[in-house]
Each structure stands twice: as C-alpha cells, then as structure tokens.
C-alpha cells in the first residue's frame, strides 16, 4: 500500500475514525495492530508471516536474555535472535546474490556450472523491520532496556504501519513508552502531522516522481558523452532519492504524529553538510545511528586505537552498503563512503585549516560533489558504464553539445531542479520550517494546505513506488 495512493488515504481515515471511537488504550492497540497487519498484507501478502515471526522471536529472546542467569546463556539467546533474524534476511535478500557471486568465481577458475538463481520474492521492508525488531534484543543484552510484558504491544512496535516499510527505524525505548497512555486525537497533532504528510507528498509526487524521467533518460539509455548532461542527471538523482526517501519518512512521521506518536527525525538537510562525517549524521539518521550503536561500537569503534577504528568503520560501511541491496555496486558504494570517512577523520579532521566561515560554502559544495560520485556508484550496476560516468564527473571535459536538446526535451525537470535548491536553501535557513508552517493561524494554514493539494493535483505524473521499497 503506497502512501501516495487513495487506498492509503481511505485506510488512514478509517483508522483515525475507529481510534477516535475507541477510548480504551488496550483496544486501541489491538486496532492499530490489526490495521498494521492489514497494511503489510496489502503490500506483501503472505510475507506477513515473517513480520509475525520476527515479533515472536525477539519478544521471547528478549525475555530470555533478561532472565538468563549467566553471561553464556545471555549470549546464546542473543545469538538465537541474531541468527533467526539475519538468517531470514539473508535467505530472501542475499541467496541469489551469493549464488551469482559463487558462479562468477567458479567461472573465473575455468569451471562453468549450470546453476541458476532461485525465484525468491523480496518482502517489502524486510531490511527495516528486521533491524527494528532485532534492536530490541540487542538493547536488552546491552542493558539499555527492560523487556515488556505484553506481546501485543511489542508486536505493535514491530509492525506499526507508518514506519513499517521504509523507516525510520525506531528503537523500542522510543516507541513502547508511548503506549502507556491511550491515543487521543487533538488539533495540534492533527495540524502538525498533516503538515508533514503534505510536505512529504509534495517532495515525493511533485519533485521526485517528476525527476525520474530525467534520471532514466540519462543513465538507462545510450550513454551520453555530454558531461553537463551527465552532471545534471546525477544531480537530478541526488534530488530524486532525497525527496523520495525523506518524503516517505515525512509522511510516516506525520501519520504517526496525527495518532499522537512522536518519531525521531530521519533527515536534517544532508546536502548542506560540510564534510562526509556530517553527511552521515544528517542522512538516513535512524540507519546510520543503528549501524553506529549495534555494529561500529561493538566492533571497537574509536576506543581501541586508530587501526581498529579504521577496520570497524570500513566493516560498518561495507555492510551498510550491502544492507541497501544484494549487488556489488552497493558494496562498493558503502566502501567508497567508508574511505571518505577514514580520510576525513585522519587526514582532515585532525588538521585545523580552512576553519573560517567564509570557506563553508566551498566545503558544502565539495562534500556534495563527493556524494554525487557516490550516487553514481549507487545507481549504476554495470561496472563498465560506471567507470565511463565517473570519468565524466571526475575530469569534467565540459562537452555540452546536447544541452540545448535536453532543455528542449525536458525544460520542466531542469526548472524543477532549480526550484528545489532554492526551496531547500530556504528550509535550511529557516529552522523547523514545517513546525513554523504548522503554527500559522488556521486560515493561513488552510490556504497553504490547499495550495499543496493543488500542486499535487497539477504536477502528479502518475503513481510511482518509493525507491527504498526495494531495500
């Protein structure tokens, strides 16, 4: 079920009406759990059983970890949770990748096995709800959280529909305490949540979906030798994936807020980062903090010397790349970011230069340029084409013969790019723009919301799925 569909609108309004009718908190939790299971069933059919499986597994593993009378038993139950979750994720997401990689390795050795890939349907959102469920067992193991007594409440935490399919990845200690009080709909939550929903829909429908044609035309057709077109194409993809993913999380956070639940932010203007370390503090915050807390720090982090930190950082980023997709270009993308982080931490961060604020715009532009190179790796799976496009971006030979044709064919997309950066600059300069808008008087807010609906009607190019659904 897509957020940008009338199906979701009807579903969400039905949930709101039912919640407002039911006053008892325990019955509200049952209703939200049933609604969440329906939401996932409408998206992924019988794979709903995997969601139920993860809930049962980590609920009882978490309880067993907490009650264990020895460190060995605690590790045993934690391993059961990790193997149970990661095993399912590995089967559905990485089996065919492993088969293809093994076949390529054997062919390199001169043996050509007649082995094909399996027909495995990737359940939507499995990477997200697996990590979210697994963090509960990990938090109990590390002593950060005590297990809850209610399987129903824990199942709701894992399956809660706003963030189920593509995040943000919410921790148990952030969500479960909010179930103590019954859901009460109020005007402030409704106005702020609706503002975020509209904000996210505009980013997704009006910007991301309209830029998909420019991206597809640049990177999925005949390779262009026009450097400026390649550059505009990858800038368009950077904007597309940001608006698509942050648009989803805005709708998710807004939907939860209407119901009275508060989720952490997942994006903080990442394209205004002054270095690559700051970028990862601003981009997909819930995943980067998850990898930091449950992978980077347990591997040693910065506590065991520089060499160990470099190893921990590279392993974390390589696995973070693999989390995004079962393909080598995702692993390379993660490794590239890992190298950039290492370079920043050890070659730049310890040297104090270019510290004056006048250098800030140059730092932002250079960091954005590095992320563009990374997005090329992210979007292009073919290694020969990837090398061609990276050469174009690195050496900038300024061939612009096709620019006039591009303008003639896609003037709206190019204007849209300029409008995005202008609006993005305003939202960066005005702190908490969505909160500011939500705080306007009802008449002003209604006018702004109506304008957003008109934009959605006029600029919608047709319903498109969210990019991160494939992860």
Where in the sequence numbering do the catalytic residues fall? 324
| Whole-angstrom distance, CA of residue 197 vs CA of residue 427 | 16
Query: Alpha helices of 45-70 — where are they, by DSSP H?
Result: 48-67
CA angle 269, 273, 274 (to 5 degrees): 160
Please state, as a whole number, how many other Cβ atoms lie within 10 Å of the Cβ of residue 211: 28
Residue 398 DSSP SS3: coil
Please state, as a whole number, how many other Cβ atoms lie within 10 Å of the Cβ of residue 374: 21
What number of residues does the chain have? Answer: 471
Of 245, 268, 250, 251, which is closest to residue 468 (Cα–Cα)? 245
Of 66, 90, 92, which is closest to residue 77 (Cα–Cα)? 66
Q: From residue 456, how far is each of 170, 194, 202, 469 by CA, in Å? A: 29, 14, 6, 22
DSSP result, 217-252: HHHSSSPP--HHHHHHHHHHHHHHHHHHHHHHHHHH
| Whole-angstrom distance, CA of residue 219 vs CA of residue 228 | 13
Residue 460 DSSP SS3: coil
Beta strands in 105-255 (DSSP E): none
Residue 186 DSSP SS3: coil
Q: If 0-12 CB within 10 Å is exposed, 13-18 middle and 19+ buried, where does residue 52 land?
A: middle
Q: Supply φ then ψ for residue 161, to 5 degrees.
A: -65, -30
Two tokens, residue 149: 């007594």
Packing angle of the helix pair 71-108, 126-141 (nearest 10 deg): 140
| Whole-angstrom distance, CA of residue 437 vs CA of residue 441 | 9
Two tokens, residue 64: 């067993």
| Whole-angstrom distance, CA of residue 403 vs CA of residue 277 | 34
Q: If 0-12 CB within 10 Å is exposed, 13-18 middle and 19+ buried, where does residue 71 land?
A: exposed
């Amino acid at each position: 079920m897509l957020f940008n569909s009338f199906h979701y609108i009807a579903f969400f309004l039905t949930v709101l009406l039912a919640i407002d009718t039911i006053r008892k908190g325990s019955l509200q939790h049952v209703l939200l759990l049933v609604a969440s299971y329906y939401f996932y069933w409408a998206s992924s059919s019988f794979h709903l059983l995997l969601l139920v499986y993860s809930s049962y597994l980590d609920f009882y593993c978490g309880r067993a970890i907490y009650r264990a009378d020895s460190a060995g038993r605690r590790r045993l139950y934690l391993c059961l949770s990790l193997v149970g979750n990661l095993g399912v994720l590995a089967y559905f997401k990485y089996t065919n990748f492993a088969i293809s990689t093994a076949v390529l390795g054997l062919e390199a050795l001169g043996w050509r096995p007649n082995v094909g890939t399996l027909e495995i349907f990737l359940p939507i959102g499995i990477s997200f709800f697996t990590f979210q469920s697994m963090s509960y067992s990990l938090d109990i193991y590390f002593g950060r959280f005590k297990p809850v007594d209610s399987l129903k409440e824990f199942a709701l935490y894992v399956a809660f529909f706003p963030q189920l399919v593509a995040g943000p990845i919410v921790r148990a200690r952030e969500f479960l305490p909010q179930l103590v009080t019954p859901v009460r709909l109020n005007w402030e939550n409704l106005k702020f949540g609706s503002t975020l929903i509209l904000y996210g829909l505009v980013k997704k429908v009006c910007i991301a979906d309209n830029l998909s044609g420019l991206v597809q035309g640049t990177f999925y057709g005949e390779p262009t030798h026009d450097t400026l077109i390649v550059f505009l194409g990858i800038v368009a993809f950077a904007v597309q994936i940001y608006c698509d993913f942050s648009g989803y999380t805005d709708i998710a956070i807004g939907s939860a807020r209407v119901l009275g639940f508060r989720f952490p932010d997942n994006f903080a203007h990442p394209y205004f980062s002054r270095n690559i370390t700051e970028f990862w503090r601003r981009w997909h915050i819930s995943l980067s903090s998850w990898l930091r807390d449950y992978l980077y720090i347990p591997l040693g982090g910065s506590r065991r010397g520089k060499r160990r930190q470099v190893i921990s950082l590279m392993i974390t980023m390589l696995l973070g790349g693999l989390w995004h997709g079962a393909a080598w270009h995702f692993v390379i993308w993660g490794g590239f970011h890992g190298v950039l982080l290492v370079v920043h931490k050890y070659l730049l961060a310890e040297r104090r230069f270019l510290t004056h604020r006048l250098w800030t715009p140059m730092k932002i532009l250079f960091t954005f340029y590095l992320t563009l190179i990374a997005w090329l790796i992210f979007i292009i799976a073919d290694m020969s084409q990837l090398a061609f496009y990276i050469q174009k971006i690195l050496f900038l030979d300024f061939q612009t013969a096709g620019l006039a044709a591009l303008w003639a064919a896609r003037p709206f997309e190019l204007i849209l790019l300029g409008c995005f950066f202008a609006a993005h600059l305003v939202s960066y300069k005005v702190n908490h723009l969505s909160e500011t808008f939500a705080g306007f008087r009802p008449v002003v807010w209604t006018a702004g919301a109506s304008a957003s609906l008109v934009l959605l009607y006029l600029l919608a190019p047709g319903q498109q799925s969210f990019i991160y659904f494939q992860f």
